[in-house]
Amino acid sequence: MSLSPARVLAALNAVRPPDQASPVMGKAVVIGGSIAGMLAARVLSDYAESVVVIDRDDLQATGGRPGVPQGTQLHALLPGGFLQLEQLFPGFREQALAQGAIEAPPAARRNYLDGRLKVVVPDDADSLAGSRPLLESLIRQQVLRLPNVKTVTARATGLVFDGPVASGVRCDVGGSPGVEHADLVVDAMGRSSRLSDWLAEAGWERPALRRMTVHLNYATALFRRDEADPEHTVVLALHSPTTSVDVAGAAFFAIEDGRWMAMMAGYGEHRPGRTAEDFVRRLREQFPPEFATVADSEILGDVQTYRHADSRRRDFHAVTRLPGGLVSVGDAVASFNPVYGQGITAAALHAACLAHYLRPGPDLGLPAHHFFALQKIVVDAAWSISTSADLALPHVDGPYPRGYRLSSWVSRQIVAATVTDVTTARRFNDVVSMRKHPSSLVTPRVILGALRANRRAR
Ligand SMILES: Cc1cc2nc3c(=O)[nH]c(=O)nc-3n(C[C@H](O)[C@H](O)[C@H](O)COP(=O)(O)OP(=O)(O)OC[C@H]3O[C@@H](n4cnc5c(N)ncnc54)[C@H](O)[C@@H]3O)c2cc1C
């Protein structure tokens, strides 16, 4: 009997590393040493004798790097992702705090919807705030401490095949060609991954690419933070598509080195705050008063902008002709509208899929259909959360899933109820944070609870 997607997601959230390493392969090669690649490498260290992580950037260097252009933008670590990181790396919280990350328990987080403060969910999970380079380097440090993981600075240029199996990665190492042989190749090259091209060039099937155009404009700026222990460390404010405000949302987080990081996002022609002056003015005028406190602080450096054209997913689960010894993880498989902050948490769940797949010792010579079937459940869950909200935007024109009118009415009721009703807000947070499956919201109890809460609020 096959398990429901809700049960599979619950099982993936509960995956723990084994007490002892139990290798099922000699060498695994991960292409891409960002967050998804490092989380995959952490799991592989339990199931491979050695793990090589290839990245075109020097991963020993500190700070931002060209391979992750989104690195200057604000990144939220959802409570679900934080729980995953603590499972994979015992002591993660303490090390993160020691390196400057800021605690973000429920009472320190504030959420506004259309200017109304949402109820605080008392026993919701903790999280942390920090810059993206800090979060990434914390994960990297934990992984590179493992004795059987090493990194190679090289640009991957293709795959090597041995009959029906991917058996290695071609690389350009400082201008010289090379090959890293592997029993398992993991693509973690991010949303611009070239794996589909490499498969097609070698005569394999290319996974279907699905896109939803969102035309999101992001802008992030840093401000000096004088308060060492601010009461609220993570503050978010979203505007519904029906409001007349041209900025769709803003957030500010306390981050390391005594700074605030503030972000604003807009869609289509709305490009929020490209100059410091404009950024600060909008923070003050279009958001709740606590945003003005940040706007009144000294701005540090320039406003960094980023344009995100679309959410996209590659349907590896539907490919029938796939070589063995190959999987793909992270943004390379699915990258979503970043406003919902799902990327790191989804990557952690992809790593859990890998652990689930490798634990029974699969035949790596065969296509990893089981892995991709598990991963589809994670991708579907994240995709439905982000795309159902995006379809409500006036400039997004589909594709609409079946039953969209009803499902969008239901989600509007639930989102509205999160402002005043603790029970609905807790259920909603569990889903947004990917600890529970979206189907857990589509029950008569939840919907009636939301309707009653909205009636009371009126
Ligand atoms: C503006 C923006 C804001 C975001 N905000 C959030 C947020 O708030 N919360 C959240 O959880 N997520 C957020 N995300 C998503 C998050 O950045 C990603 O999900 C996360 O980084 C995991 O991505 P990844 O590791 O799969 O790929 P990436 O981080 O894109 O990394 C890909 C890696 O592959 C390497 N690479 C690529 N090609 C090659 C090659 N040929 N050879 C060698 N190396 C190669 C690159 O150098 C890079 O290191 C945001 C994204 C954007 C764009």
**How remote is the CA of residue 67 from the centroid of ligand 1, in Å?**
8
Same domain membership, residue 271 and residue 156: no
Q: What is the pLDDT of residue 395?
A: 76
Mutation test of ligand 1: which of 30, 38, 56 has the most ligand atoms closer than 8 Å to its C-beta? 56
> For residue 32, which amino acid is it?
G
- Among 389, 408, 438, identify where a domain stops: 389
Model confidence at 93, pLDDT cuts 50, 70, 90, reads very high
Instruction: Determine which of 2-16, 242-256, 413-427 has the lowest per-residue pLDDT on average.
Output: 242-256
Nearest residue by C-alpha to atom 51 in ligand 1: 338
Q: Tell me, rounded to whole angstroms, the distance of Cα 171 from its chain centroid.
A: 27
pLDDT tens-digit readout, 105-156: 999 999 999 999 999 888 888 999 999 999 999 999 999 999 999 999 999 9
Task: State if residue 155 touches ligand 1 by the CB under 6 angstroms criterion.
Answer: yes
Atom of ligand 1 at shortest range from CA of 36: 25
Average pLDDT, stretch 5-13? 96
- Among 310, 333, 358, identify where a domain stops: 310
**How remote is the CA of residue 244 from the centroid of ligand 1, in Å?**
32
**How remote is the CA of residue 249 from the centroid of ligand 1, in Å?**
22
Dist. CA 103–CA 109, nearest whole Å:
10
Q: What is the pLDDT of residue 122?
A: 81
Residue 197: inside a domain, yes or no?
A: yes
Residue 1, pLDDT above cutoff 60: no
Dist. CA 431–CA 402, nearest whole Å:
21
Same domain membership, residue 77 and residue 182: yes
pLDDT tens-digit readout, 34-61: 999 999 999 999 999 999 999 999 998 7
Instruction: Determine which of 26-35, 92-101, 254-263, 268-277 has the lowest per-residue pLDDT on average.
Output: 268-277
- Kindly report the CATH number assigned to the domain that includes residue 284: 3.30.9.90
Task: State if residue 159 touches ligand 1 by the CB under 6 angstroms criterion.
Answer: no
Same domain membership, residue 304 and residue 249: yes
Extract the tokens encoding 346. Answer: 């989804």
Residue 338: inside a domain, yes or no?
A: yes
Q: What is the pLDDT of residue 229?
A: 93
Q: Write b or e for each residue in 40-65: b if 16 or more Cβ atoms lie within 10 A of its Cβ, otherwise e.
A: bbbbbbbbbebbbbbbbbebeeeebb
Same domain membership, residue 431 and residue 379: no
202 or 124: which carries more pLDDT confidence? 202
- Among 276, 310, 344, identify where a domain stops: 310
Same domain membership, residue 217 and residue 198: no
**How remote is the CA of residue 379 from the centroid of ligand 1, in Å?**
16
Residue 394: inside a domain, yes or no?
A: no
Backbone angles phi, psi at 88, to 5 degrees: -75, -35
Task: State if residue 156 touches ligand 1 by the CB under 6 angstroms criterion.
Answer: yes
Task: State if residue 350 touches ligand 1 by the CB under 6 angstroms criterion.
Answer: no
Q: Which own/partner contact pairs does 369-372 have at CB distance under 8 Å and 24+ positions apart?
A: 369/317, 369/322, 371/327, 372/316, 372/317, 372/319, 372/327
Same domain membership, residue 27 and residue 43: yes
Same domain membership, residue 418 and residue 280: no
Residue 305: inside a domain, yes or no?
A: yes
List strands edge to edge, sheet with 326-328: 149-153, 48-55, 25-31, 184-187, 326-328
Dist. CA 289–CA 112, nearest whole Å:
11
- Total of domains in the chain: 3
Task: State if residue 190 touches ligand 1 by the CB under 6 angstroms criterion.
Answer: yes
Residue 244, pLDDT above cutoff 70: no
Task: State if residue 261 touches ligand 1 by the CB under 6 angstroms criterion.
Answer: no
**How remote is the CA of residue 366 from the centroid of ligand 1, in Å?**
28
Average pLDDT, stretch 291-319? 95
**How remote is the CA of residue 310 from the centroid of ligand 1, in Å?**
14
Task: State if residue 330 touches ligand 1 by the CB under 6 angstroms criterion.
Answer: yes
Q: What is the pLDDT of residue 156?
A: 98
Q: What is the pLDDT of residue 204?
A: 97
Residue 178: inside a domain, yes or no?
A: yes
Residue 261: inside a domain, yes or no?
A: yes
Task: State if residue 183 touches ligand 1 by the CB under 6 angstroms criterion.
Answer: no
Residue 96: inside a domain, yes or no?
A: no
pLDDT tens-digit readout, 68-84: 999 999 999 999 999 99
Q: How far is CA 183 from CA 48, 312, 369, in A?
A: 9, 28, 16
Residue 246, pLDDT above cutoff 80: no
Same domain membership, residue 147 and residue 241: no
Cβ contact 450:425 at 8 Å: no
Average pLDDT, stretch 264-272? 88
Model confidence at 268, pLDDT cuts 50, 70, 90, reads confident
Same domain membership, residue 188 and residue 40: yes
Q: Write b or e for each residue in 82-100: b if 16 or more Cβ atoms lie within 10 A of its Cβ, otherwise e.
A: bbbbbbbbeebbeebeeee
Cβ contact 355:348 at 8 Å: no
Model confidence at 166, pLDDT cuts 50, 70, 90, reads very high
Mutation test of ligand 1: which of 73, 78, 173, 306 has the most ligand atoms closer than 8 Å to its C-beta? 73
Instruction: Determine which of 48-57, 204-213, 394-403 has the lowest per-residue pLDDT on average.
Output: 394-403
Model confidence at 64, pLDDT cuts 50, 70, 90, reads confident
Same domain membership, residue 218 and residue 105: yes
Task: State if residue 57 touches ligand 1 by the CB under 6 angstroms criterion.
Answer: yes
Can you tell me which residue has the tokens 């999970």? 125
* Domain encompassing residue 155: 5-89+135-210+311-389
- Kindly report the CATH number assigned to the domain that includes residue 81: 3.50.50.60
Residue 342: inside a domain, yes or no?
A: yes
Task: State if residue 79 touches ligand 1 by the CB under 6 angstroms criterion.
Answer: no
Q: What is the mean pLDDT of the chain?
A: 94
**How remote is the CA of residue 44 from the centroid of ligand 1, in Å?**
19
pLDDT tens-digit readout, 313-369: 999 999 999 999 999 999 999 999 898 999 999 999 999 999 999 999 999 999 999
Task: State if residue 73 touches ligand 1 by the CB under 6 angstroms criterion.
Answer: yes
**How remote is the CA of residue 135 from the centroid of ligand 1, in Å?**
12
**How remote is the CA of residue 14 from the centroid of ligand 1, in Å?**
24
Same domain membership, residue 407 and residue 379: no
Same domain membership, residue 417 and residue 378: no
Q: Tell me, rounded to whole angstroms, the distance of Cα 317 from its chain centroid.
A: 20
Dist. CA 219–CA 2, nearest whole Å:
44
Mutation test of ligand 1: which of 42, 52, 68, 82 has the most ligand atoms closer than 8 Å to its C-beta? 68
**How remote is the CA of residue 188 from the centroid of ligand 1, in Å?**
9
Task: State if residue 189 touches ligand 1 by the CB under 6 angstroms criterion.
Answer: yes
* Close Cβ partners of 183 (under 8 Å, ≥ 6 residues apart): 25, 26, 27, 28, 48, 167, 325, 364
Nearest residue by C-alpha to atom 33 in ligand 1: 32
Atom of ligand 1 at shortest range from CA of 345: 11
